[in-house]
């Protein structure tokens, strides 16, 4: 019997990484390191009313809760509400897919959480990583998946992949290459993460 793995996805925007994860894993049996897992995406939570990812989740038949952080007095009260909703889902892993919030220590201690970041951490932490990486002139660039703690982009690395940037690449082309690598690396990192749970 495959081991059942339940996942919640948190996002704030377009939701392309979320869609990739749902299409790769939801209701699928996947073998990893000689073990079998059956994945279920229990639901998604979004903190932005106008996020296109809400439409993606709906089209994929995945429950999506809208929980706007603007409706809460402070970060802690938002995190407590979010924690309550995630606990209802009884998940094994929380996956951040473009979730633009720094989570409190209490929330991070309550779940196993992973995040994807568009740079080779510890370089270029924060929301402007793609632009900073592009403007850095670094020859080797890439993507990281890491465990989440209360420090911004500060948790232990699960997986990194890199590529050599082309001097002629525009920011648009560079961004496309970063996103393509995200879609490739995140499913790999999720399998690696759940093997350690």
Domain of residue 66: give its range: 3-195
Mean predicted confidence (pLDDT) in 37-49: 97
Mean predicted confidence (pLDDT) in 68-82: 94
User: CATH number for the domain including 186?
Assistant: 3.40.50.170
Tens of pLDDT along 4-13? 999 999 999 9
Mean predicted confidence (pLDDT) in 34-58: 97
Tens of pLDDT along 161-180? 999 999 999 999 999 999 99
How many structural domains comprise the chain?
Answer: 1
Tokens for 136, please give them.
């850095």
Residues of the chain with pLDDT > 70, as a percent, come to 100
CA distance 68 to 84: 15
Mean predicted confidence (pLDDT) in 62-84: 95
The pLDDT of residue 137? 87
Name the E strands within 126-193: 140-147, 157-164
Residue of 47, 48, 43 whose CA lies nearest to 58: 43
pTM over 0.85: yes
Mean predicted confidence (pLDDT) in 16-39: 96
Which residue among the candidates 26, 69, 117, 146 is catalytic per the annotation? 117
Annotated catalytic residue 117: yes
């Amino acid at each position: 019997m495959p081991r059942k793995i339940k996942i919640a996805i948190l996002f704030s925007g377009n939701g392309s990484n979320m869609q990739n994860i749902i299409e790769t894993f939801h209701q699928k049996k996947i073998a990893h390191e000689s073990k079998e897992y059956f994945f279920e995406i229990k639901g998604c939570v979004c903190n932005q009313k106008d996020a296109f990812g809400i439409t993606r989740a709906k089209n994929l038949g995945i429950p999506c809760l809208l929980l706007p952080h603007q409706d809460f007095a402070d970060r802690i009260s938002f995190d407590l509400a979010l924690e309550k909703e995630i606990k209802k889902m009884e998940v094994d892993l929380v996956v951040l897919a473009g979730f633009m919030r720094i989570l409190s220590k209490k929330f991070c201690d309550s779940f196993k959480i992973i995040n994807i970041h568009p740079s080779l951490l510890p370089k270029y932490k924060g929301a402007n990583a793609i632009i900073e990486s592009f403007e850095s002139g670094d020859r080797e660039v890439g993507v990281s998946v890491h465990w989440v703690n209360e420090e911004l982009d500060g948790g232990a690395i699960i997986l990194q992949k890199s590529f050599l940037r082309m001097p002629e690449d525009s920011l648009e082309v560079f961004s496309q290459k970063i996103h393509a690598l995200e879609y490739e690396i995140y499913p790999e990192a999720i399998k690696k993460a759940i093997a350690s749970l």
